[in-house]
A and B are shown apart, each in its own frame.
Chain A
Amino acid sequence: MPAVAETIETVSAVTEGGYKWGFETEIETELAPKGLSEETIRLISARKEEPEWLLAWRLKAFAAWQTMTEPHWARVAHPPIDYQDIHYYAAPRKKTPKSLAEVDPELLRTYEKLGIPLSERAALAGVEGGQVAVDAVFDSVSVATTFRETLAKAGVIFCPISEAVREHPELVRRYLGSVVPAGDNFFAALNSAVFTDGSFVFVPRGVRCPMELSTYFRINARSTGQFERTLIIAEDNAYVSYLEGCTAPMRDENQLHAAVVELVALNEAEIKYSTVQNWYPGDAEGRGGIYNFVTKRGACRGRRSKISWTQVETGSAITWKYPSCILQGEGSHGAFYSVAVTNNHQQADTGTKMIHIGANTSSTIVSKGISAGRSNNTYRGLVRIMPKAANARNFTQCDSLLIGDKCGAHTVPYIESRNATARVEHEATTSKIAEDQLFYCRSRGLSEEDSVNLIVNGFCREVFKELPMEFAVEAQKLLAVSLEGSVG
């Protein structure tokens, strides 16, 4: 693939730069006072003009959260988080725009700088089929969603979840919390209490979503957390491919990102969910960076439905995330393709859960962990076969690549089978970039850094090929930037 040449260009472009998404946008922001209380939740709910049922749901989640403690079973370490020292709501002060033309030009410039097209014309000028509809979430609110009319013609709803609460309350009420209940875990409960915005996607029966959907999350304000909530529903025979991206300014403080994503696939529906996670990872000494504590879960409710999670995780100081599939419908299929890269002092504890409930369900897990610097990278995965999941199948492959001798790679697979007809396979490898591979590439004229990129991209190929083409290129570039300076 020609993307390698681009990888090389990117590397040379950033040699002086480091994290190039680390700028801050000067914009007037409305902040809720620091701290978490019923008051804060009422304020968020009032700002969003929410119905009573949703406020009640939030308060219930908050009550549950207060009885819970932070989970500490993951292989990550961080100083205690002061949940009262965070702003739970931050929004650009200008009024919510009605159309793209009304969006604050400062915000448009921000997204332009990030390479996210918020102008439909710019996107239209691109190659055919390369159209992507974008929902841009800036701190706590969605600032723009493109191509809504085109999508509406196809019957697809793609809008900020706060708007969906107002415009499609019956759908939101029916599905919100149905995959990740409000009290599911500490961070999901926190999110349920204080979530501010996120994307809502509804693809009705028999509709194949005509373009890629994408949400771009940006944390900008200081001392704030981002708590977005995404809900995607694909009715019978529907198909949608969705991608999320995220960045944040460089700051010395750690910022909390605790999102919840819920996917529902009905009969023969398919949802492809891809993530390119590039939150600020902190500096080389481990100062600053995002704590990315996220709950993502998909329910394959219908027969022969499919959900796949593809993630490229290069950012965040700490990543705690296990995108999962509940394989309930007969013959449903779950997939998890992951590349997790850690460098410097980053910590990642990530993996998946495949819960086989229905008969003839199958799942595929391909995890590629790359550790460099003094980082730690853990794959943690659960494959559970329930008693009624006759003939369930799972294939898991976990490969770890170490760069240097001060980093760590750990693989923690849990397998529980309660049905004798199930078949579960697990393969795992750990390797180092071999000296002979590096020398082979260099003897052909590649620099040491280009050689590492080539070898690492080869290592990740099985996962990258699951990404939409333009994002695969993006992912390769990110990988190059993340591993910059990790050799020599």
Chain B
Amino acid sequence: MALLEIEGLCAEVEGKPILRGIDLALPIGEVHAIMGPNGSGKSTLAYVLSGREGYTVTGGSVRFAGQDLLAMEPEERAAAGLFLAFQYPVELPGVGNANFLRTALNAVRRARGEKEIDAINFLKEARAALRRLSMADEMLKRNVNVGFSGGEKKRNEVFQMALLKPRLAILDETDSGLDIDALKIVAEGVNALRGKDFSALVITHYQRLLDHIVPDRVHVLSAGRIVRSGGPELAKALEASGYAGLAAEAA
């Protein structure tokens, strides 16, 4: 059964059509990659799925675990198990990372009818997750993303994902701006979650992330449509031939 079913999804930003009819089914437990050139609509797809204001759906439907995803508020989507790892994580001055994460975790738990986690157990879980990601405990004391390097911000996203344990993670160009060591840490973070209860949409411009997170399927997005789908070998082929040929093929 598919966890995420996108049918004929169209969306615009400031009156400009960006997504022009996307069809995609993501089965439970699978990891799919979305690739495509700049401006093809990759980030727009991520924002539409997570409910960001200003991204107006003009057609189509999205079902997430049987629910109408597009009718839900962003926080309801999070509670239902959707997580967006931001391409540009946002700074929250004065808000401690530990405080932010525990507040988020408990909000999600409350919404799911689960018990809240107390400070001591939270710290235990958080420290364990940090160790798995080769990150320092000091991370918890810092303000959310304030003064973080690009790599630290991305790792903080993966850390949040590890704690929130989503059913569906959307990684929006999490590999951009990462050196190879940070890239491996991010990939390990995602791979550690892989299993029958975890699915992911990995959005990336480059193939290199997919050497470390091997996808079940690869979809190529061009001008707001999926123009090609295939196995991991499709990413490799793209690396060799570039997007230009594909776009021409699609047109």
For B248, what are the chain A residues with a Cβ–Cβ distance below 8 Å?
none
For A448, what are the chain B residues with a Cβ–Cβ distance below 8 Å?
75
Q: Which of B50, B103, B160 contacts A5 (CB 8 A)?
A: B103
CA gap between A436 and B50 in the complex, in Å: 13
Q: Which of A446, A454, A461 contacts B75 (CB 8 A)?
A: A446
CA gap between A444 and B51 in the complex, in Å: 12
For A447, what are the chain B residues with a Cβ–Cβ distance below 8 Å?
75, 107
For A446, what are the chain B residues with a Cβ–Cβ distance below 8 Å?
75, 103-104, 107
The verdict on A457 contacting chain B, using a C-beta distance below 8 Å, is yes
B104→A458 contact, CB < 8 A:
no
A4→B103 contact, CB < 8 A:
yes
- Residue interface bits B118-129, CB-to-A below 8 A is 1, else 0: 010000000000
For B91, what are the chain A residues with a Cβ–Cβ distance below 8 Å?
437
For B160, what are the chain A residues with a Cβ–Cβ distance below 8 Å?
444
Q: How far is the CB of B245 from chain A (nearest CB, A)?
A: 35
A445→B90 contact, CB < 8 A:
no
Apart from A444-B164, A457-B94, A458-B143: 17 A-B pairs, beta carbons within 8 A: A2-B99, A4-B99, A5-B102, A437-B90, A440-B90, A441-B92, A443-B86, A444-B78, A445-B78, A446-B107, A447-B75, A448-B75, A454-B92, A454-B99, A454-B100, A455-B95, A459-B93
A436→B111 contact, CB < 8 A:
no
B73→A442 contact, CB < 8 A:
yes
The verdict on B150 contacting chain A, using a C-beta distance below 8 Å, is no
CA gap between A1 and B51 in the complex, in Å: 29
The verdict on A212 contacting chain B, using a C-beta distance below 8 Å, is no
The verdict on A435 contacting chain B, using a C-beta distance below 8 Å, is yes
- Residue interface bits B52-70, CB-to-A below 8 A is 1, else 0: 1110000000000000000
For B116, what are the chain A residues with a Cβ–Cβ distance below 8 Å?
5
Q: Please, how many residues of chain B have a CB less than 8 angstroms from a CB on the other chain?
A: 37
B78→A458 contact, CB < 8 A:
no
Q: How far is the CB of B162 from chain A (nearest CB, A)?
A: 13
For B36, what are the chain A residues with a Cβ–Cβ distance below 8 Å?
none
B53→A439 contact, CB < 8 A:
yes
CA gap between A440 and B83 in the complex, in Å: 11
For A462, what are the chain B residues with a Cβ–Cβ distance below 8 Å?
94
The verdict on A219 contacting chain B, using a C-beta distance below 8 Å, is no
CA gap between A441 and B90 in the complex, in Å: 9
- Residue interface bits B77-88, CB-to-A below 8 A is 1, else 0: 111000110100
For B108, what are the chain A residues with a Cβ–Cβ distance below 8 Å?
444-445
The verdict on A228 contacting chain B, using a C-beta distance below 8 Å, is no
The verdict on A262 contacting chain B, using a C-beta distance below 8 Å, is no
For A461, what are the chain B residues with a Cβ–Cβ distance below 8 Å?
94-95
B74→A443 contact, CB < 8 A:
yes
B107→A445 contact, CB < 8 A:
yes
The verdict on B229 contacting chain A, using a C-beta distance below 8 Å, is no
The verdict on A450 contacting chain B, using a C-beta distance below 8 Å, is yes
For A246, what are the chain B residues with a Cβ–Cβ distance below 8 Å?
none
- Residue interface bits A444-484, CB-to-B below 8 A is 1, else 0: 11111010001101111110000000000000000000000
CA gap between A1 and B122 in the complex, in Å: 13
B164→A445 contact, CB < 8 A:
yes
Q: Which of A2, A8, A434, A457 contacts B95 (CB 8 A)?
A: A457
CA gap between A458 and B90 in the complex, in Å: 14
Q: How far is the CB of A367 from chain B (nearest CB, A)?
A: 15
A439→B104 contact, CB < 8 A:
no
CA gap between A337 and B164 in the complex, in Å: 36
Given A5-B106, A446-B107, decide whether A440 and B92 contact each other with a Cβ distance below 8 A: yes
For A435, what are the chain B residues with a Cβ–Cβ distance below 8 Å?
53-54
Q: Could you give 8 example pairs across A and B, Cβ below 8 Å?
A: A8-B107, A435-B54, A441-B104, A442-B74, A442-B78, A444-B100, A445-B105, A450-B103
For B119, what are the chain A residues with a Cβ–Cβ distance below 8 Å?
2
Q: Which 7 A-B pairs have the closest CB atoms?
A: A458-B94, A458-B95, A445-B78, A461-B94, A444-B104, A445-B108, A440-B90
A442, A445, A460: which has the most chain B beta carbons within 10 Å? A445
For B105, what are the chain A residues with a Cβ–Cβ distance below 8 Å?
445
Chain B stretch 198-213: residues in CB contact (< 8 A) with chain A: none
CA gap between A474 and B47 in the complex, in Å: 37
For B75, what are the chain A residues with a Cβ–Cβ distance below 8 Å?
442-443, 445-448
Give the residue name and chain of the B residue nearest to A451 (CB). B75
Q: Which of B51, B73, B92 contacts A455 (CB 8 A)?
A: B92
For A458, what are the chain B residues with a Cβ–Cβ distance below 8 Å?
92-95, 143
Give the residue name and chain of the A residue nearest to B86 (CB). A440
Give the residue name and chain of the B residue nearest to A440 (CB). B90
For B103, what are the chain A residues with a Cβ–Cβ distance below 8 Å?
4-5, 8, 446, 450, 454
Give the residue name and chain of the B residue nearest to A462 (CB). B94
